[in-house]
Amino acid sequence: MFYLALNSLGHHLSSDCQESGKPTRWTLVLLSPACFLCSYEMSAPNDNLRCYLLFSSSVTTWFSGMGNMKLLCVWAVLLWGTCSAVQTGREFITTFMQNYLGTSADTLLELEIISYEEATTVTVSVNQNPLRKVLVLGKDQTASVKLPNFLQLKGNTHTLFTVIITSSKDISVVSVNKRSYTMDAALIYPVSALGNEYYIFTPPNKGNSKEFTVINTGEPNTIQIYRVNTRKVQTISLKPYENYQFQSRSDLSRSRIVSVKPVAVLSGHTCVYYRTKCNHVFEQLPPVSSWGKTFIVAPLSVQRQFDLIYVLTSKDTEIRFGQGGQKPDRLKAGQMTSYQISQSRPLSITASEGIMVMFYCTGGVLSRQFRFDPFLVNVVPVSQYSTGYRFQGRPGFSNFANIIARTSDTARLKMDKKVKLASLKWENIKGTAFSWADLRFSDLKLHSVAGEAVEPFSLYVYGVTNRDAYGFQASPDAFQGKSVSLSMLCVHTPQVRVRDAVKLPLHCVSTLPGQGYRRSKAPSALCVHSPRSGLETQ
């Protein structure tokens, strides 16, 4: 008997159906509000075939495979990690790192919440504090929740005042940390997308402090911090929803965070400068388990010089830029490298292992009276692109949507379901099937970009004004479609009836046929149990 098991399975539903006149047994497993596992049995000419199809809830295109299967086979269309990297959800945790000196009276700490369904009840609370705000939102509605200044962390510190956002239906959350002339924003990941291992990135700068913050989920936890260029390991015990901010004027990039249970990690700089004035920058970092191998990075239409792309590794990795015959860069585990990006030089990046890619806007000069400051954005791997996005700009800024889409799809993309984007100044990204363009939008209402029958694309929001700037990854539309991410696993089962998927506390991944199983710490690994080879667990 074979089983397909995933860590922390939810409840499952079963039904019978007919396909091509042949009886088929379907099993639907609900992994999370955004991810489903669908399995089915059918008869091939000489074999019984059981296939499992993993996809996110809004994907409408799927396929199956069948044939004369003689070995256990795993057919990975795209990586499972995409499903675990969904940016909409029903539970979020965050806090606010120190912005510049952390003493300004005009500090604005704000959450921007986007709902996708009618009657969405959202609760914003602060752990160990009576503050509690309840919102009831309609479909495609936004709400701004302002939070008190005492939530801003200062210096090397730890507090229990973590902000907790829960919702009755899927939402997305953007965090805004602003004071006069220094602001940034970041898309907040749901608790379901958090992980146990992270690598820190902080922009290099001799002045002010680099910083990162670890935010614990709802259970006691232990984290270990491996500082770069030192052999010391700092072990910290965290209470439920406790957060810990670490600052240093020394380099923090490449520091490694490992936790027993999932945590969220914010990283950035109190106020970093490059060619203009300084600006507070931050991002929520993706866990190593959700890193990707293929990235496309577009320049900014407002940048007249260059910006910087930083690449971090967790394993020995070969990295190639563009589609040429140049030798790959070889990085050791935990190393980092940087590259320039400009109007004439967008980047395509492929790696032999998962990598993290960060976009560091270095600021720019548009005129004597207009000098915008730096900001930081987490670059999304191609495997995590979406077929639709929702976004909103900021008052007082020139707001842009930076779009990377397949060249063949640019004529089908629309803004707010009405305005065709074919007229944008699309620039081809050499060596790829993608093009990029900046869409400027002036009003502050909720916007969408999507298209019929388009492949997944990426969209980032940024804004510039004199002595300030911000940037963040746009929120994938919860019902337009997540990344078209499928994982199919087909198991040859002669004379064996496969039963429903079951919940097993496993942390393992299968290797090649006949080689059994290897241990893995990946919490979302797929496991197949065979009576012949057995199953290793942790």
Q: What's the N-to-C CA distance of the chain in angstroms?
A: 21
Q: How far apart are CA 271 and CA 389, in angstroms?
A: 29
Phi, psi torsion values for 341, nearest 5 degrees:
-130, 135
Confidence check: pLDDT of 322 > 90: no
Rounded CA separation 10/1 (Å): 22
Residue 522 clears pLDDT 70, i.e. is over it: no
The band of 511, judged by pLDDT with boundaries at 50, 70 and 90, is: very low
Angle (CA) 183-458-306 rounded to 5° is 55
Q: How far apart are CA 311 and CA 332, in angstroms?
A: 12
pLDDT of residue 486 exceeding 80, the answer is no
Q: What is the pLDDT of residue 493?
A: 34
DSSP 20: T
Confidence check: pLDDT of 159 > 60: yes
Structure token pair of residue 168: 């009755």
Distance CA 534, CA 519 (A): 13
Decide if pLDDT at 48 tops 50.
Answer: no
Instruction: Tell me the per-residue pLDDT of 88-144, one tens digit each, with 9 for 90 and over.
Output: 999 999 999 999 998 878 899 999 999 999 999 999 999 999 999 999 999 999 999
Mean per-residue pLDDT for 227-241?
Answer: 91
Average of pLDDT values for 42-66? 36
Quick one: 47 exposed, middle or buried, by C-beta within 10 A (0-12, 13-18, 19+)?
middle
3-state SS, residue 432: coil
pLDDT of residue 104: 74
210-221, pLDDT tens digit by residue?
999 999 999 999
At 249, the pLDDT band (50, 70, 90 cuts) reads very high
* Residue 228 falls in which region: left (phi positive, over 0), alpha (psi -120 to 50) or beta: beta
Domain residue limits, the chain: 3-77+486-529, 89-476
Instruction: Give the SS3 label for residue 429.
Output: coil
Total Cβ atoms within 10 A of residue 118: 12
Mean pLDDT across the stretch 468-492?
A: 65
Higher pLDDT, 115 or 325: 115
State mean pLDDT over 56-83: 34
**Is the predicted pLDDT of residue 510 greater than 80, yes or no?**
no
What average pLDDT does the segment 297-305 reach? 96
Q: Reply yes or no on whether the pLDDT at 358 is more than 50.
A: yes
How many Å apart are CA 207 and CA 271, to the nearest integer? Answer: 8
**pLDDT score, position 9:** 35
Task: Grade residue 72 by pLDDT with cuts at 50, 70 and 90.
Answer: very low
Per-residue pLDDT, 86: 72
Query: What was the pLDDT predicted at 112?
Result: 98
Q: How far apart are CA 223 and CA 200, in angstroms?
A: 14
Of the segments 23-27, 104-108, 295-299, which one has the largest average pLDDT value?
A: 295-299
Q: Are 489 and 52 in contact (CB under 8 A)?
A: yes
In this model, does residue 494 exceed pLDDT 70? no
Dig out the tokens for 208 from the structure: 């002010």
Q: For 533, list phi and psi in degrees, rounded to 5.
A: -95, -15
What was the pLDDT predicted at 19? 34
pLDDT at 169 over 50: yes
Residue 284, pLDDT > 70, answer yes
Which residue, among 170, 188, 50, 76, has the nearest Cα to 485 in the 3D structure? 76
Q: Which residue has the tokens 């930076």?
A: 402
Q: Is the pLDDT of residue 161 over 60?
A: yes
Q: Is the pLDDT of residue 503 over 50?
A: no
Quote the pLDDT of residue 232. 86
Mean pLDDT of 428-448: 94
Q: Return the structure tokens found at 484.
A: 């078209």
Centroid of chain to Cα 370: 32
Instruction: Report the range of poorest mean pLDDT among 146-150, 351-355, 463-467, 474-478.
Output: 474-478
What's CA 277's distance to the chain center, in Å?
29
CA pair distance 86, 185, nearest whole angstrom = 18
Across all residues in the chain, what is the average pLDDT? 79
How many other C-beta atoms are found inside a 10 Å radius of the C-beta of residue 227? 18
Q: Give the integer Cα–Cα distance in Å for 64 and 54.
A: 11
Residues facing 124 on adjacent strands = 133, 165
Amino acid at 471: G
Kindly report each contact of residues 140-143 with a partner whose C-beta sits within 8 Å and lies 24 or more positions away, as own/partner.
140/114, 140/115, 140/116, 140/390, 140/446, 140/448, 141/114, 141/115, 141/446, 142/112, 142/113, 142/114, 142/115, 142/392, 142/446, 143/112, 143/113, 143/115
- Higher pLDDT residue, 536 or 241? 241
Q: Regarding predicted confidence, which is higher, 346 or 477?
A: 346
Percent helix, percent strand, percent coil in the chain, to nearest 5: 5, 55, 45
Average of pLDDT values for 202-213? 90
Report percent pLDDT > 90 for the chain: 66
The per-residue pLDDT for 499 is 34
Residue 432, pLDDT score = 95
pLDDT the model gives residue 487 = 36
**Backbone φ and ψ of 416, nearest 5°:** 55, 30
Grade residue 325 by pLDDT with cuts at 50, 70 and 90.
low
Write phi, then psi, for 407 (nearest 5 degrees).
Answer: -55, -35
Angle at 460 between CA 53 and CA 455, to 5 degrees: 40
pLDDT category at 229 given cuts 50, 70, 90 is confident
Tell me which residue has tokens 């059918």.
Answer: 42
Whether residue 374 is predicted with pLDDT greater than 50 in this model: the reply is yes
What's the pLDDT band for 480 if we cut at 50, 70, 90? low
C-alpha span between 114 and 118 (Å, rounded): 12
Q: 91 is written with which tokens?
A: 């539970």
In order of 224, 309, 371, the CA distances from 277 in angstroms are 35, 20, 8
The radius of gyration of the chain from alpha carbons, rounded to an integer in Å, stands at 23
Per-residue pLDDT, averaged over 340-354, amounts to 95
Q: Are 311 and 356 in contact (CB under 8 A)?
A: yes
